[in-house]
Every structure is written in C-alpha cells, then in structure tokens.
Amino acid sequence: MNQTVEFQQLDAAHHIHPFTDTAALNEKGARVITKAKGCFLTDSNGKEYLDGMAGLWCVNIGYGRDEMADVAARQMRELPYYNTFFQTTHPPAIALAKRIAELAPAHMNHVLFAGSGSEANDTNLRMVRHYWAVQGKPEKNIIIGRNNAYHGSTVAGASLGGMGAMHKQGGLPIPDIQHIGQPHWWAEGEDMTPAEFGLARAQELEQAILHYGVDRVAAFIAEPIQGAGGVIIPPESYWPEIQRIVDHYGILLIADEVICGFGRTGNWFGSNTFNIRPDIMTIAKGLSSGYIPIAGSIVSDRVYEGILPGGEFYHGYTYSSHPVACAVALENLRILDEENIVANVREKTSPYMTTRWKALAEHPLVGEARMCGLMGALELTPNKASRAKFEGEAGVVGLMCREHSFNNGLVMRHVGDKMIISPPLVISESEIDLLIERATKTLDMTYTDAKKTGLM
Ligand code: PXG
C-alpha cells in the first residue's frame, strides 16, 4: 500500500482532529505533512508548500532551527521536568520570566506560565475575578469580550471568545461574560467612515459598562488584531477610545497577544503597535515559535500587587513553567532578538509584503486587501463597490480558494470568504514574490470557478 494511504487510514481509524468534521475527513483522508525547513512544508507525497500560515500563526523563526533542538536536548538531559509549585523554582523558568519582563511594556514585570493560549486565558479569567475579590469587590466579575473574537477552546477561552458556533456546543458561554461588536469595518461598517465606525464600536464598551454597572464589570479582553476571526485590523480610532474607556472606569484590560505577540505586527507586541496599555497580556504561539507548547500571562504591577494580599491563588498547571519549554522559548527569543527579526519585519519585510499584498485588491474577486506587520487578509466579494457577501452560505468561495491554494503549493487559510495569511517572520523578498504569484494564480482559478458555479 502507498504510504500516504496507510497514514490516512490509520489516522482515520484512531486520531481525532481538532475543529474538524471527522466523518467528512475520514472519507477524504488527511493531508500528511512529514517535514519542514525555513518557510516550506513537505507532505508524504513529496509535494512542497510555502507555509503562508507559519503553522497556525506560530512558527515565527521558521522551521528547522537546529539550535532549538539542541537546547531542548540539553535541557532534557539536565532537568527534563520539575514543577514550580511548593516554593520551588528552576533556572529556565527564572531566565525566561526575566527576559519576558524585559521585552514587555515597562509596567509589566511578572509571568505565570501555562501550556497553551486557552489555558492562559483561563488563568486570566480567574485572576481578574480574584483581583477584584481581593480588592473587596467580589461582585465585580463580568468580563466583556467581542463577537468573532478567538480566545481559545477551553470552557473559559471559548466563553470569552465570540464565536457563535462554538457557543452552541457545550453550553457556553459560562455566566458573567458578555460580548460587544467587533471593529470590522469592511463587513459591518455600512455607510460610516472607518474612523466613525471604530469610535462607535469602541463606545459599545462604555455602553456595556454603564449598562451592567461599573461595580459589576471586571475586565475587557481583546486581541489587538483579531486573528482567527479573519485578521481584522481595527480602524485607527478604535484602540485610543478603548484605552480612554478602560482608564476612565478603572476596568482591567486583557490584551490577548497569542497571535500578535513576538513580532507578528512588526513590534514585540501588538500592544506596542497600537499603543495599548494592558493590565494582562496572554502569550503563546510565537513565544516558542511553536517548537514546543508554552504560554503565559504577563501581569502588570497593578494586578500583581493587587493580588498579593489575597494569599494563595489556587491556580496553576503541572506544566506551568516546564523547564524544557522555558529553555526552548528562551532560545527562540534569543534568535528573534539577535537576528533582528522583529525590526526586520517592521522596516523591510512588512513594507514589501504590504505593497505586494494590497495590490491584490485590483483582482476582480477581492474587495479589500489588508495587512499589518506580517498578518493579512483578503475579503472575497461578488461586488467590490457594495462590499456584498456571496449568496447562500458563507465560506463556499473561501473553501474553493483554500483548495486551489494548497494545490498551487501555498498554505493560505480561509475564514468564511476571507483569505488569511501569516507567514514565518523570516520570509524573504523572493519568497514573498512566490507567495504573491501563487496567491494570484489561486485567485484567478477561484474567480473562474465562482463564475462557473453562478456565485458571481
Ligand atoms: N488567543 C488567541 C488570540 C488565539 O489566536 C488562543 C488564544 C488559544 O491558544 P491555544 O494555544 O490554546 O490554541 C488562540 C489560538 C485558527 C486558529 O483557525 C487559531 C488559534 C487556534 C486554533 C486555530 O486560526 N489561535
């Protein structure tokens, strides 16, 4: 039997995929990725793909860095595991926490580690409620998130997020979580200017605080740029107004930096790019460039000191500050820093990529092409002028486009009828040229199909 078929059959027999219609996948067989180097993946048939998604928005330094494997092996030999419960610590946790505090905004100097972004957001939910309880305000426990935000897949993460389809499964959201509108001008701004719309959507936060009462609202959580929701870059008016509101009412601000952190927007954090002053930042993904699972909550001095009088915070994971994960993350941060990768995105790669990507808006299928740092999206539409949606269910054209993209050797994701991109931060100009060439061919093929099937 062909090895790919064997892999696919065994995969279908025993492996359940995340976020997948299992019956449909088993019928078709999964794509089997066997190795990767730099910005390229190779599948079990030897076909190469330019990885326009950096794995799942995480492989910032690119694949195949031997230093990362060497550090992991060294740390496994020296101290493969020990916990940081029971008044114990170890050198990799200390070194990584110190390095993160150096990189984070000046008022954020403390880190609690987790294994995934979802876990870190569970930490954040419990921490902000605990913070207010220690301040003598236990009823101040409502957390406000946004529609179409993504904060993970655990019970708290999915509740904080605003994905309707996720809320329908498993009885979510949990109590005392509320959602306001997202700053997605292209899809929802109607005849407002982006600036007016950004302001209006930010002011929904103020309306929510006044509606529930400032004595009930604990925190607001948001991604600086929504990633999984479709790379939604807020209008310039949005974040300054959010910051004004959280400052005015003294509400805690949680910036979910799981995607935006560690260079994705051309700065160490999306909070730097948008001039946000968070009380807590969620980090994961780019912290280790996906080489090993690790995440965390970076906590401001205000929240840290606010919690201290409360005694023990009954929270933590077996793998909080895992020594191998900490050592690998620290090596990743060394590479990002010493190879000047973040500044290079800001000054060179992002401007080049942005120019080339935005030119895709000329394509008859594309209503808007947007990019910040190295994360971008294309809005596919049957009518650019009216910013119309395709008839019928969303995502049919997006899915066609994704299939063509993979066949053309480019990993580009779809979210409904948006195409999204988030390549490794080490992508070169010639690789960007290749990405654009394959994306253009993909759009052409999708356009032909959409016309043929009467979708436009
Ligand atoms: N916050 C944000 C902003 C994320 O993007 C999480 C939290 C959760 O992290 P973990 O490590 O628990 O997955 C994420 C994760 C997609 C996709 O389809 C995006 C994520 C995860 C899975 C799929 O774009 N982001």
Name the residue at shortest CA distance from atom 20 of ligand 1: 228
| Same structural domain, 214 and 352 | no
Phi/psi-derived region of residue 285, left when phi > 0, alpha when psi is between -120 and 50, beta in every other case: left
Q: What is the pLDDT of residues 16-52, one digit of tens each?
A: 999 999 999 999 999 999 999 999 999 999 999 999 9
State the Cα–Cα distance between residues 56 and 288, nearest whole angstrom: 13
Number of domains forming the structure of the chain: 2
| Same structural domain, 231 and 312 | yes
Pocket flag, ligand 1, residue 151 (CB < 6 Å): yes
State the Cα–Cα distance between residues 343 and 346, nearest whole angstrom: 5
- Residue 350 phi, psi dihedral angles, 5° rounding: -65, -45
Tell me how far the alpha carbon of residue 228 lies from the centroid of ligand 1, in angstroms. 7
Is 275 within the bounds of a domain?
yes
Name the residue at shortest CA distance from atom 1 of ligand 1: 151
State the Cα–Cα distance between residues 144 and 218, nearest whole angstrom: 8
Amino acid letter for position 8: Q
Q: Is residue 120 scored above 90 in pLDDT?
A: yes
Pocket flag, ligand 1, residue 284 (CB < 6 Å): yes
| Same structural domain, 245 and 331 | yes
Q: Supply the pTM of this predicted model.
A: 0.98
| Same structural domain, 270 and 351 | no
Helix 429-452, helix 350-358: angle, nearest 10: 20
Tell me how far the alpha carbon of residue 57 lies from the centroid of ligand 1, in angstroms. 8
Q: Determine the straight-line distance between the first and last CA of the chain, rounded to whole angstroms.
A: 42
State the Cα–Cα distance between residues 361 and 128, nearest whole angstrom: 42
Query: Are 66 and 295 spatial neighbours (Cβ–Cβ below 8 Å)?
Result: no
Q: Which helix (H) or strand (E) holds 109?
A: strand 108-114
Tell me how far the alpha carbon of residue 323 lies from the centroid of ligand 1, in angstroms. 23
Task: State the residue range of the domain holding 392.
Answer: 31-61+340-452
Is 232 within the bounds of a domain?
yes
Q: What is the pLDDT of residues 267-302, one digit of tens each?
A: 999 999 999 999 999 999 999 999 999 999 999 999
Task: DSSP letter for 286, please.
Answer: G
> Could you give the strand order of the β-sheet that contains 217-222, starting from the edge strand earlier in sequence?
108-114, 295-300, 280-283, 252-256, 217-222, 142-146, 177-180
State the Cα–Cα distance between residues 413 and 422, nearest whole angstrom: 9
Q: Pick the last residue of a domain from 278, 303, 338.
A: 338
Tell me how far the alpha carbon of residue 185 lies from the centroid of ligand 1, in angstroms. 22
Respond yes or no on whether the N-terminal peptide bond of residue 173 is cis (omega within 30° of 0).
Answer: yes
Q: What CATH number corresponds to the domain at position 137?
A: 3.40.640.10
Tell me how far the alpha carbon of residue 137 lies from the centroid of ligand 1, in angstroms. 31
Pocket flag, ligand 1, residue 258 (CB < 6 Å): yes
Tell me how far the alpha carbon of residue 117 lies from the centroid of ligand 1, in angstroms. 7
Ligand 1 atom nearest the C-alpha of 293 is 11
Q: What is the pLDDT of residues 332-380, one digit of tens each?
A: 999 999 999 999 999 999 999 999 999 999 999 999 999 999 999 999 9
Pocket flag, ligand 1, residue 227 (CB < 6 Å): yes
| Same structural domain, 77 and 119 | yes
pLDDT confidence of 226, banded at 50, 70, 90? very high
Q: Pick the last residue of a domain from 313, 338, 363.
A: 338
State the Cα–Cα distance between residues 130 and 303, nearest whole angstrom: 10
Pocket flag, ligand 1, residue 259 (CB < 6 Å): yes
Q: What CATH number corresponds to the domain at position 46?
A: 3.90.1150.10
